[in-house]
């Protein structure tokens, strides 16, 4: 673990109280309507500007600067850790800000304030509402010596998709792990069977760029030649060493962990750990078993899938494709359409929440958007490499998030989906009876008993085939 120090959430609250901003934040949040998406962006901007305008008091600033000097100064990573973040039920994966390669006292203090302000980002507020988090927002900030990573990424001490606790899933990339957690590239994926241990699966990714520390000390994006970008990132010994590290972290915390790691100069570092949020109630499928829809049928058509990649969030969903280029276009996605994008960073969360399923060109099963998709019960396929060029807006498809495929949709009979993770069903918006199509039901297989037919928990367009109008 890199050396560092923590600015606790209590310090954030004290500064908001001292400046008078705390009462104003509480009033604004108390008057917010979670269903009013149109006002969300304006409220988010207003609250972030308010927190960003707070001048950190001399006492706290002196303590931060003193801790930074005792750390040796130089480059640090400044990481957000909100009070509701990284719990067993809410990961807030990638929602709050993290800043890398920060150097100097003034730059550090400014980064701390920007972490605080990220607590009220649009994607954070959307996620809080979707997960039913109602307590007062507060945030700690972790400052660590910056690891100038040769290679880095994420490791799960259990399979986050199948729920198999006998397997460790590691994803890896060259340079900083931001390209993996942000879904910017298709990372290497390694699966380690704990019995042995032995390497069970190796999938080589495609990386067209990496992020490194530039000559000026700032993050720099370097284009990788195909030979380098298509090379295997980790050797067998390194994979097994990381698996052993992750297994020890799980043993320490007593539950499966989602970790971030980095390698600098041949030495491995653990830079973050949090509980895996989607194992409770997850399907305990056998490794390599074919995925099935909630109705028990294979999602692939006889002609085979249109695109295939990594199954990142289990379940099947049918609907019309909507190809989007950026999160700014999210408003054009209709409830219940299939979101298709080159990548899905956390900025896509407000859109993902309304999608029936997600399919991306890049990304791995450990990227932040995949984690959020699993939490929200939205089937997700990542790393297809060509979904945005093969699939077309308006095309009817069926997405199988367990098998990692999108196929031609045989009919407009609706959609079948797996039982969502705990809490996700209750936090999905329920339409009025007038907006629900007559007789519309979906079959939801319960993990604790037989399947039941429930009134559709989404909007009409999210569960039924679109009308001809």
Q: What contacts 119, CB < 8 A, 6 or more positions away?
A: 51, 80, 82, 96, 137, 138, 139
Write the burial class of residue 69 (CB in 10 Å: 0-12 exposed, 13-18 middle, 19+ buried). exposed
Percent of the chain residues topping a pLDDT of 70: 76
DSSP calls for 346-393: GGGHHHHTT-SEEEESS--TTSHHHHHHHHHT--EEE--SSHHHH--T
What tokens does 61 get? 């600033």
- Contacts for 23-29 with beta carbons within 8 Å, 24 or more apart? 24/50, 25/50, 25/51, 25/120, 25/137, 26/136, 29/137
Domain assignment of residue 267, given as a range: 151-275
Structure confidence at residue 353 (pLDDT):
84
pLDDT at 25 > cutoff 70: yes
**Mean pLDDT across the chain:** 80
Neighbour tally for 433: CB within 10 Å: 8
Please state the rounded mean pLDDT for residues 141-146. 96
How many CB atoms sit inside 10 A of residue 385's CB?
17
Q: Is 368 a catalytic residue?
A: yes
**30 and 106 fall within a common domain:** yes
State residue 27's pLDDT score: 87
- Let me know whether 328 and 362 are in one domain: yes
CATH code assigned at 363? 3.50.30.10
Are residues 426 and 319 both part of a single domain? yes
d(CA 417, CA 462) in angstroms, rounded, equals: 12
Nearest to 364 by CA among 167, 177, 144, 218: 177
Residues 316 and 459 grouped into a single domain: yes
Residues 364, 243: one domain? no
The torsion of the CA quartet 370, 374, 376, 379, rounded to 10 degrees, works out to 80
Judged by average pLDDT, the poorest of 107-111, 142-146, 343-347, 364-368 is 343-347
C-alpha 28/C-alpha 120 separation (Å) is 11
d(CA 146, CA 191): 28
Which of 167, 152, 156 shows the shortest CA–CA distance to 234? 152
Residue 303 CA to residue 58 CA, distance in Å, equals 67
Boundary residue ending a domain (234, 253, 275): 275
> Quick one: 110 and 258 in the same domain?
no
Q: Which of 85, 81, 13 is nearest to 51 (CA)?
A: 13
Q: How confident is the model at residue 83 (pLDDT cuts 50, 70, 90)?
A: low
pLDDT value at residue 303: 61
Query: Which candidate in 209, 252, 368, 412 is catalytic?
Result: 368
| 282 within a domain of the structure (yes/no) | no
Domain-located, residue 297: no
Residues 88 and 229 occupy one common structural domain: no
- Band (pLDDT 50/70/90 cuts) for residue 130 is low
Whether 155 has a pLDDT exceeding 90, the answer reads yes
Q: What spatial distance separates the first Cα and last Cα of the chain, rounded to whole Å? A: 58
For residues 365 and 359, is the Cβ–Cβ distance under 8 A?
Answer: no
Enclosing H/E stretch for 398? strand 396-400
Q: Could you tell me if 138 and 163 lie in one domain? A: no
In-domain check, residue 291: no
State residue 372's pLDDT score.
77
The rounded Cα 361 to chain-centroid distance in angstroms is 16
* Dihedral in degrees, nearest 10, Cα atoms 300, 344, 230, 243: -90
Quick one: which of 70, 79, 92, 55 has its CA closest to 6?
Answer: 79
Distance CA 70, CA 60 (A): 15
pLDDT in tens, 370-424: 887 887 889 999 999 999 999 999 999 999 998 999 999 865 434 444 434 433 3
Count how many domains the chain has. 3
């Amino acid at each position: 673990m890199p050396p560092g120090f923590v600015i606790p959430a209590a310090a954030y609250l004290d500064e908001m109280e001292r400046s008078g901003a705390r009462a104003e934040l509480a009033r604004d949040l108390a008057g917010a309507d979670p269903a009013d998406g149109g006002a969300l962006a304006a409220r988010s901007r207003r609250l972030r500007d308010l927190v960003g305008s707070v001048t950190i008091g001399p006492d706290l600033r002196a303590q931060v600067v003193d801790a930074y000097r005792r750390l040796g100064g130089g480059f640090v990573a400044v990481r957000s850790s909100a009070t509701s973040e990284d719990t067993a039920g809410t990961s807030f994966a990638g929602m709050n800000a993290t800043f890398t390669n920060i150097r100097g006292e003034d730059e550090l203090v400014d980064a701390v304030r920007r972490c605080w302000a990220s607590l009220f980002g649009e994607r954070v507020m959307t996620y809080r509402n979707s997960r039913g988090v109602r307590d007062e927002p507060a945030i700690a900030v972790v400052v660590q010596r910056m690891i100038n990573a040769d290679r880095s990424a994420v490791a799960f001490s259990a399979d986050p998709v199948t729920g198999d606790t006998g397997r460790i899933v590691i994803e890896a990339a060259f340079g900083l792990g931001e390209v993996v957690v942000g879904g910017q590239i298709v990372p290497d994926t390694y699966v380690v069977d704990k019995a042995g241990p032995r390497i069970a699966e190796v999938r080589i990714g495609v990386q067209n760029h990496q992020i490194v520390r530039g000559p000026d000390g700032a993050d720099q994006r370097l284009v990788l030649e195909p030979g380098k970008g298509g090379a295997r990132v980790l050797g067998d010994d390194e994979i097994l060493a990381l698996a052993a590290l992750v297994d020890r972290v799980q043993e320490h915390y007593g539950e499966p962990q989602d970790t971030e790691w980095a390698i600098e100069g041949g030495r491995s570092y653990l830079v973050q750990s949090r509980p895996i949020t989607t194992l409770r109630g997850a399907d305990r499928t056998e490794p390599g078993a074919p995925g099935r829809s909630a109705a028990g049928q294979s999602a692939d058509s006889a002609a085979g899938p249109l695109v295939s990649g990594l199954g990142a969030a289990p379940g099947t969903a049918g609907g019309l494709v909507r190809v989007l280029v950026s999160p700014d276009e999210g408003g054009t996605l209709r409830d219940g359409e299939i979101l298709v994008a080159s990548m899905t960073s956390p900025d896509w969360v407000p859109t993902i929440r309304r999608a029936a399923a997600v399919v991306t060109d890049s990304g791995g099963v450990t990227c932040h958007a995949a984690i959020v998709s699993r939490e929200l019960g939205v089937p997700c396929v990542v790393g297809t490499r060509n979904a945005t060029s093969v699939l077309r807006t308006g095309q009817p498809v069926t997405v199988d998030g367990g098998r990692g495929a999108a196929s031609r949709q045989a009919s407009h009979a609706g959609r079948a989906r797996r039982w969502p993770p705990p809490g996700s069903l209750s936090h999905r918006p329920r339409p009025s009876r007038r907006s629900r199509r007559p007789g519309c039901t979906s079959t939801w297989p319960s993990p604790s008993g037989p399947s039941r037919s429930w009134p559709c928990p989404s909007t009409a367009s999210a569960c039924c085939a679109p009308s001809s109008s």
